[in-house]
Structure formats: structure tokens, C-alpha cells
Chain A
Amino acid sequence: MMLALNGDEAVAYAVKQSNVDVIAAFPITPQTIIVEKLSEYVANGELKAYYACAESEHSAISMIVGASAAGARTFTATSANGLALMHEILYIVSSLRLPVVMAIVNRALSGPINIHTDHGDSMAERDACWIQIYCEDAQEAYDTVIQAFRIGENHKVLLPVMVMLDGFLISHTTQNVDVLEDEKVSNFVKHRIPAEIEVFGKKVPLTLNPENEVPLTFGPLDLWDYYFEHKRQQEDAMEKSREVIRKVHDEYAKISGRSYGNGFIETYNMDSAEYAFICLSSTAGTVKSLIDKLISKGDDKLGLVRIRTFRPFPYEELPKALEGVKGVAVLDRSGAFGAMGGPVYNEVRSALYDSDVHPFINGYIYGLGGRDMTMEMLKSIYDDLVETVKSGKPKRKIEFVGVRE
């Protein structure tokens, strides 16, 4: 069914269909209408879930910790400084192996105070051991939220999942969103089944429940002698999530007819490309429009690799996708003060280091605080990249695109 939904509404619609048990959220700026819409669904009976209104984002995610530990399927959403306020609990969620799903409407972190899009908020959480999937448009946000429950709750994974959509450009822009029937989604996501663990020679559900045959303690002290082992387990889960992300993505493609590359990266016009852009989120759509325009004018040398899954990072897929390319422009929508470049730039370069693929790689920081990224700006980056390759001199210096001198 084709609806006119904005990104926020698309996310809320997906959550409504996904048999969620508990939603907790802080409702004030920088929150978006995702949770407002969900509160309506709960109030009018369309969604049978427990909805808790918290007094801060720190409390919202803490409530989610309790509910998820008790075995509930949980959802929350936030943005920018709200996500920053959740920071310490994010690490607790992943260490307790709680498959929470959270939508992040990417907005710039204050200060100066700003509510527009950039990726600084979620990039600051990239090492919190949450799976991170960046969506290009509202349709993908809808599809990805549904997939996220299946990915996180898989017993090989048991990690929380963040689903990112660009503030305003996607969250507040109405577009065509093809939604699946309720029953189809329900059959796909089913209900959460808690994992079992073995303690004292007994298999018990990994839930916070005094009725369990062996009641478990969640979140005890864990010092030098075990903390590292538990962190190593988290890394193992992140690695195992790769297979699950791919399987869930492919299975979803079968019921919806929609897929996003291989679930990790999506390529566009890479067969004939000599130059490639690498970016996340909605900018990829504008890059595709530029590529189409260039092709119509006879230039088919520019391609795109959009990174969809940033955690776990697709370090094996990237070198393959970039084979034969002479120059790569990596676009970062977040600052990296004092670093050699933005987070996407650094991880892409690192992924290529041990491979046989060594194109020129330029890093461009753009769009901070919602500064628009236009086709003209992208074209100027393309020209700059071609120039770098022709000159034979790598830049090794970050370019800022769209900032006034």
C-alpha cells in the first residue's frame, strides 16, 4: 500500500506493525514526531504496547534497559543531544546484550545550538557496540526498522540496533512509502524469544525474572578478571551479526521486493566507474541523481558506494566494490577535529590498507548543522577528485565543502 509519509511517520508505522511491547521516550526537543505518532497509536488502541513518558533521555533508555532485560521487545527514538545524554546507558544496553531498537534522527550536536542534520550525534556512539544502519530515505527507514528487530534479537547476535535517518531531509520530508500488510510484518518479526544461557548446569532464559528456575543478576560488578572477556564476547557478537544482517535483509527482500545492495553497501554505476563517491544516508540519493545527469551527458565514469551498515563496518566488501577505481571521494557529515579526517574517511582508508586496491582517497567534510549538499557542490567535488588523480598528488588533507571562507 502506497502512503504519503515522512521519515518519522514511516518509522512509527514500522514500529506499530512490529509487535513491540514497551516504548519509552522523552518527548521534548530534540525528539521528533516518531514517538508522538507512537503515543497516538497506543492511545487510540492501534498499538497494544506499554508507553512510558520519561523525564529525560537518560531515563528513557534506562526504562528500556529494565523492560528489555525483563524480556520485552522495546523501542525508543532520539536525536542529537538526547542521544548524547543516553551515552553512558548505551554501553550498558550492549553489555547486557539487550536487543533494543532505537531510531536516531541525525541532528547536529550543540553547540552552537542547532536542530538540523549532520551525523555527529550517532558517530559519537560508533564504539558503543550498537549495530548502526544509515538509511537513504523514508522507505528504507521503514524497511530497516522492521529488519532491526530480527537482527538484534537473533540469538547469535543479541545486540542493540540503531537505525539512522537524516534530520528534516528525511525525517520531516513526505514521500511515497510502500508499507506492507500488518500480518506480513507480524509474521516476519514474530515476537521476541529471549535467548537461553546455561548457569549452574541449567538452561534458563536470559531475562530479569525472579520466577526463573535460576534467577539472574543483571549488571553486577565485573573487574579486571572478567570484564575483558565480556567485551570480547561483544566483539564476537558484532562479527556474527554480519551473517544475520545479510540473511534478514535477503529474507525481507523476498516479502517486500525491496533490497539495499547486499545489506552492507549499495553500489551505483560502479561497473564503468573510474571515480567513486563513498557516503552515508540521504546524500547518496543526490549523488545518484548527479551520476544520472552525468551519464545523460556522456560521462559514465562516476560511481557510488553507499555504506548502509556502518557497524559492523563492511571492511571486506569495500575493497571489492572499489576494484579498478582511480580516485575515491569520501564524504563525511561530521567533524573530526584534530583527526586525519572524518570517521568514514578513516575507516575506508583503513579497510583498503591491506588490500590490493589503492586508489587516491580524498576526504570531504560537508553539511554540518544542516548545510545543504547540492548537485553543484557534488559536481565540484567530482572535479576536484579528477584533478587530484590527474595531478598524481594525493591531498592527505581534509577539504571542507560548502563553508564560507
Chain B
Amino acid sequence: MIEIRFHGRGGQGAWTAVQILARAAIREGMYVQSFPEFGPEREGAPIRAYARISKEPIRIHCGIYNPDIVVVLDHTLLKSVPVTSGLKENGALVLNIPEKYLEQYIDKMKGPHDIWFLDATSLAVKILGRGITNTAMLGALLKAREVIPLKTMLETTREIFLERFSEEIARKNIELIKEAYKEVKKVE
């Protein structure tokens, strides 16, 4: 079983990201749980969202304290949120952060896990015209750990965005995921 924690701010789409992830995993015949951090959600306030993905039925019903993967949608969260808390050894930390800030925040990121980074905000602004990074970070996540195949993620994203929005928005988000998957880098 793989446990994933997303850090974001209210309104950045962390909850949508884990829902896309859950539906994609079900499409792969896997078992999932996904849940937001339960509490009042306020735009801009730090929030967390969680996912469990497993080949076996999932029975456990408590919080996730030791994730295998942590995804951070906004590097400014590093100032106030201990994002590596409980992250497993050999886990992965996947961040939306411009390369030039890596040095500045490295102390808040390092540990016995690997670190992946991507300037997802710039990429999202370029492709979507808005700095919404949740789908981009799903692409980055899959490069860091292939929890499900990229193809399945793209199909599911298309399905969900067609349900909720439009053909154009679906197409742009798919492009964004593909680009993010290509561009994310590992800190050596």
C-alpha cells in the first residue's frame, strides 16, 4: 500500500488532485481511499489531502502519519508547514518550486528521501493561463513514483475535466501533466 500526502492552500486543488488520483487508480483495478484534511477549508490557509492506493482491499480507517510520498503544491508553504514530517525513508518529496529557490529552502526539504522539483506555477501559467498547479504536480508525482501509469492518469483527467468543465480545459490540463512529467527533476 502506498500512502500519499498533498500539501496545498485552500483553493489550489489538492483535494481535486487526490480525487483524480483515486479514480485513476480504480481504473487500474486498484483499491483506494482519498480524503481531505477534515476541517473548515479557507482559501489560502494551509491544507492537506491524502490518498491510499493498494492492490489489496484497504481496511484501515485512520489518518496517514507516515506517507510514502509528499507532494507540495506551493513552495511558500515550506515557511510554516513541516512538509517532511513522518515521510518514510526512501520516500519521495515532490515540490512545486523554481530551481533558484532550492538552495534557500533545502534545509526544510532534506532527509532520507529523494527530492523532486518542478516550477509548476510557471508551467501552468504558460499552458493554462493560470497558476493552478494540482494537475501539473500529478504529472510530477508519476515521474517520481509510478503509482499508476501516466496513460491512465491522462484518461482519467480528461474524463473528470469533461464532466466538470470543457473540452478545452481538459486538453490543456492533459498537456500540462505531460509537460510536467517531462520537466520534473530530481535533486542529486
Contact = CB atoms under 8 A, between A and B. Distances in A.
A and B pair up? yes
Interface of A: 2-4, 116, 136-137, 166, 168-170, 172-176, 282-283, 285-286, 288-289, 370, 372-375
A175 B38 contact: no
B108 to A, nearest CB: 26
Contacts of A169: 35, 61-62
B23 interface: yes
Given A173-B33, A174-B32, A168 B38 contact: yes
A288 B57 CA distance: 12
A166 B35 CA distance: 13
B63 A175 contact: no
Per CB-CB distance, the 4 closest pairs between chain A and chain B, nearest first, are A282-B61, A285-B59, A173-B35, A289-B60
B65 interface: yes
A174 B61 contact: no
B38 A174 contact: no
A97 to B, nearest CB: 35
5 contacts: A137-B61, A169-B61, A169-B62, A172-B35, A175-B34
B60 A174 contact: no
A372 B34 CA distance: 16
A116 B35 CA distance: 14
B61 A172 contact: no
Q: Which of B26, B60, B62 has the most CB of A within 10 A?
A: B62
Contacts of A168: 35, 38
B60 A286 contact: yes
B26 A176 contact: yes
Nearest to B23: A4
B109 to A, nearest CB: 26
Nearest to A292: B59
Nearest to A168: B38
B59 A288 contact: yes
A283 to B, nearest CB: 7
Contacts of A173: 33-35, 61
Interface in B164-186: none
A169 B52 CA distance: 13
Nearest to B156: A4
Contacts of A136: 61
A282 B63 CA distance: 12
Size range of the interface on B? Answer: 10 to 19
B22 A372 contact: no
A346 to B, nearest CB: 25
A174 B33 CA distance: 5
Contact of A170 (B22, B60, B61): B61
Given A173-B34, A375-B60, 19 more contacts: A2-B26, A3-B26, A4-B26, A4-B34, A116-B38, A137-B61, A166-B61, A168-B35, A170-B61, A172-B36, A173-B35, A173-B61, A175-B34, A286-B60, A286-B62, A289-B60, A370-B38, A373-B62, A374-B62
Interface in B25-50: 26, 31-36, 38
Contacts of B57: 176
Contact of B22 (A4, A285, A374): A4
Contacts of B125: none
B2 interface: no
A144 B59 CA distance: 18
B135 interface: no
A176 to B, nearest CB: 5
A283 B59 CA distance: 9
Nearest to B59: A285
Contact of A174 (B35, B62, B65): B35
Contacts of A2: 26
A374 B61 CA distance: 8
Contacts of A373: 62
A136 B22 CA distance: 20
Given A4-B23, A4-B26, A168-B38, A374 B63 contact: yes
A116 B36 CA distance: 13
Interface string B106-127: 0000000000000000000000
A173 B63 CA distance: 11
Nearest to B35: A173
A285 B33 CA distance: 13
A27 to B, nearest CB: 18
A2 B31 CA distance: 10
Contact of B61 (A3, A116, A286, A370): A286
B2 to A, nearest CB: 15
Contacts of B60: 285-286, 289, 375
Nearest to B1: A289
